[in-house]
Every structure is written in C-alpha cells, then in structure tokens.
Amino acid sequence: MTHQHLEVRDKFTGEVIGSVPLADRDAVDRAVTAAKDAFPAWSHTPAHRRSDVLFRAADMLEARRDEIATTIAREAGKAWKYAVAEAERGVETFRFSAEEAKRIHGETVPMDASAAGEGRWGFWVRVPVGVVAAITPFNFPLNLVAHKVGPALAAGNSVVLKPASTTPLTAALLCDVLRQCGLPPGVLELVVGPGSTVGDWLVTDRRVAKVSFTGSPSVGESIVRAAGLKKVTMELGNNSGTIVEPDADLTAAIPRCVMSAFANSGQVCISLQRLYVHASIFEDFTRRFVAATAALKVGNPMERDCDVGPMISQSEVARVVAWIAEAEQDGARVLAGGRSDGSMLQPTVLCDVAASMNVMCQEVFAPVVCLVSYDDFDAALAALDDSEYGLQAGVWTNDLRKAFRAIERLDCGGVMVNDTSIFRVDHMPYGGNRRSGLGREGVRFAVEEMTNIKMVVIRA
C-alpha cells in the first residue's frame, strides 16, 4: 500500500487545499493490472450502456459545476470565469463522448475490385486498443482529462490516468464522479506522482497499448522514445500567431486578441503569443490594445471579475521574467506589464521584438504577447509560419482571397479566420504538426486514435 501523500496548494494563497496518495511502483503496477483485468468486460459492454455511464457523468459534472470550478480555480490558479467555462466544457466533452460511443463503426470493402477478392465479402470494424495511459498537463485539469477519458471509455478501453502533479484534485473528483455513475472498478485508475517516475513507469509498461499525452514538446519527445511500439497521441505546445489585416473589424479583434493573450495567464497551448498587425493600423491598434490590457483585473482568481490570476509556479514566472529581460537587452520595449510579484506576472505587451528572441521563437506559456508590425500580407504569413510549431493560427481579414491564401499557406492543425489561434470547441479535430504533436483529439478523432481497425473477409 502507498503511505505517502502529495499536498496540493491554492496557487494564489499558497494554502494547502487537499492531498492525494502518491503512487509508488507497486501502485502503478496494480493500477495497470486492474485496468487490464477490467478491459474485457468493459470492451464487451454494449455501446448504449457505455454511453449511459458517460451521459450520467456529464449530468453529475453539470450539477457539481461550481464545486469543480472552485477546485480548478484554486489548484490551477485559473480566474473564476475561465474555471467555470472549463467546467462547462468538460460537461460538453462528456456529452460528445456519450454520443460518439454509439456511432463507432467501420465500412464494407468492395472485395471484387481486385480479381483476387472475387467471391469474398469484406468489412472492417473499429476495436478498442486495450489499456490507455492518459498523461495530462496542469492548465486544463478537467477538460484535457475529459478529452482522453471520455473518448477512451466511449470506445471500450480502460484507462490509467496520470494528471499533472500540481493539479490532481480535479482529476480525482472526475474519477469519483465516474465511479458514482456506474463505471465498473478498474476501468479508470488514477495514479498521482512525478512524471519522471510514475509517468515513465506507465509509458514503459508493456501492458499499456496506447499513450495519450498532452504537455510540453520536450516531455512528449522523451515519451515517444520511451514508449517503443505503442500507439501514441501527442498534444504539445505552440508559439501561436495571429495576423490582423487593415480591413478587419478592430472593435471585435482587439478585445478578442487581449483575451487570447491573457486568459489563464497565457498558459493555454493556443494562447496568442505573436500578434502581427498591418503597419497602416499598427499605432492605433497598439494604443487600444495596451489600454485594454491595462484595464484587466489581475489578482485573486476566486474573485468573480478576475481576468488574470497567478501562473502555476514562481519558477515559471522567473523563467519568463528572464526571457523578457533578455528581449529588452536586445532592443524590445515593454508597453505594458513586465513586473512580477511571487507567482503573479502582470499582463505584458512587448514590441520591437526579433524573431530570434525566446519570447518569439519558444513557447512563452505566460501572459506575454509580442506585437509585430508588417507591410506585406504574404511576408506576415511566412513569418507566422516560420516556427518549429504548428498547432493553430488566426487571421483577421474580410478579404476572402487573403483568407484562402492563409488557409493554404499555413502548416498547422487549424486556421481560424476572423478569430485568433485560441478558438476551440471540443468536437472539432484538434492537434498540431511538427513540434506541436502527433495525431488529433476532439472526441471523434480521439476515438479513432484509441481504436484499431480490424478487417474481416468472408469467403462466400
């Protein structure tokens, strides 16, 4: 049995708000064994029953919305309004999963298209892979867990879930909800502990059929190496960019860009980090953008009108403050923010940046946005695309030809027209290219990643 516990703190007050058992190697082994043992019965549970469990879980999450939002706001430091929005999205992700459970199907194959197939009937079906290891980050402690657990259970897999060590309480609450909604024992196991041990034991366990990971590119890369011959889905980072053309509706674009840069203290994989604004509107845009940034309410995330809470840790603040200082040394100017206090970093706007600065070319994952003036739309597209990452991008324009140039030109998982990189709803395909990842989530697409195709040929 495990005896050690992990204390979880409120990221704004520092107060201990809960604790969870820390898994040791035996506990991880027991969790995988339980998931493996539970798999045959769950995978043979009729789809409508799996769907019922997921619908009930969605209803219970909805009924407990405020309790869940409070847990998210405190353990992740997420401003209340965004914590509520996440709790509501989690409900929707479970409803999508419940619906998807009923429509997992294959196709017939016209076998006689080949002479060798004459006289045969063929069809393929999707079958669950087995035990899925779900490893999740701190920034959406409910919805990014829901994006793995919901589709995995819908498809008939069992799951061992390892949430981020900074935010395990929401995941524990979700597991409790699913148990209460009739999920059989063993089908969803929770293990909490450091990624370097608990995460690694899971990834390297040969009984795990699939690793579904959301987190940083460097950890993702090490997991792909360690996992060996397993299916993997990698949802990784981005230094997301958005372009604003002079024909855009600035009244809509400016507040949306401010929100996209600073919601959840910029700790969103599709947070707006590089904002390219046409030179003819740059001055006006910048003045209005900086004024809107200065008006944000920064502080205690539990206050109902808070816009920006703390970052996840003081060490993360220190990393970003160093990046801002480096950028300033190399000629960047701070137009707003830049100051920090403990784990709070003021929403920060930079200009006069260069593409080679860390705040531009690395994922900043903090409330920091860089404003860049451009003259030529195609050059702006090229600059935006000149990145190791390729998750999502935004383009504000009412010129259809320019919108399509962007759609064709940008090598990324999603292009948002008249919006920023941050737009996402939970049933659309979502994921990145290059260092942003492998595979796609979004319930139906996650189900595809968590199933194998089985071909059946019948000789008549």
- Cα 199 to Cα 216: distance, rounded to the nearest angstrom: 14
Work out how close the CB of 317 gets to ligand NAP at its nearest, in angstroms, rounded to a whole number. 14
Name the nearest CA neighbour of 174 among 210, 206, 146.
Answer: 146
Name the nearest CA neighbour of 431 among 414, 407, 451, 410.
Answer: 414
* Angle between helical axes of 80-100 and 47-63 (0-180°, round to 10): 160
Work out how close the CB of 431 gets to ligand NAP at its nearest, in angstroms, rounded to a whole number. 7
Residue 439 burial (CB count, 10 A):
19
* Residue nearest ligand NAP by beta-carbon distance: 195
- Cα 291 to Cα 18: distance, rounded to the nearest angstrom: 39
Task: Identify the three-state secondary structure at position 77.
Answer: coil
From the candidates 75, 86, 92, 235, which is the catalytic residue?
Answer: 235
- Cα 261 to Cα 350: distance, rounded to the nearest angstrom: 12
From the candidates 175, 181, 257, 269, which is the catalytic residue?
Answer: 269
- Cα 364 to Cα 317: distance, rounded to the nearest angstrom: 10
Work out how close the CB of 309 gets to ligand NAP at its nearest, in angstroms, rounded to a whole number. 16
Q: Contact 244/272 with Cβ under 8 angstroms?
A: no
- Cα 2 to Cα 357: distance, rounded to the nearest angstrom: 45
Q: Contact 181/60 with Cβ under 8 angstroms?
A: yes
Work out how close the CB of 133 gets to ligand NAP at its nearest, in angstroms, rounded to a whole number. 9
Structure tokens at 342: 């403990």
Strand partners, 19: 7
- Cα 59 to Cα 74: distance, rounded to the nearest angstrom: 23
> Is there a catalytic annotation at residue 235?
yes
> Is there a catalytic annotation at residue 269?
yes
Work out how close the CB of 234 gets to ligand NAP at its nearest, in angstroms, rounded to a whole number. 8
In the complex with ligand NAP, the residue whose CB is nearer, 200 or 330, is: 200
Work out how close the CB of 168 gets to ligand NAP at its nearest, in angstroms, rounded to a whole number. 9
Q: Which residue has the tokens 């946005």?
A: 369
Q: Which residues bind ligand NAP (CB under 6 A)?
A: 135-139, 144, 162-166, 194-196, 199-200, 203, 214-216, 219, 222-223, 235-237, 269, 363, 365, 391, 432, 437
In the complex with ligand NAP, the residue whose CB is nearer, 43 or 197, is: 197
Instruction: Go through the chain and tell me how many residues it has.
Output: 460
Nearest-5° angle of CA 217, CA 218, CA 223?
95
In the complex with ligand NAP, the residue whose CB is nearer, 86 or 245, is: 86
Structure tokens at 29: 């082994």
Structure tokens at 319: 């990393």
Angstrom distances, CA of residue 48 to CA of 52, 55, 99, 181: 6, 10, 9, 14
Q: Contact 92/426 with Cβ under 8 angstroms?
A: yes
- Cα 182 to Cα 153: distance, rounded to the nearest angstrom: 12
Work out how close the CB of 23 gets to ligand NAP at its nearest, in angstroms, rounded to a whole number. 11
Q: What is the DSSP string of 358-390?
A: HHHHS---SSEEEEEEES-HHHHHHHHH-SSEE
List the catalytic residues: 235, 269
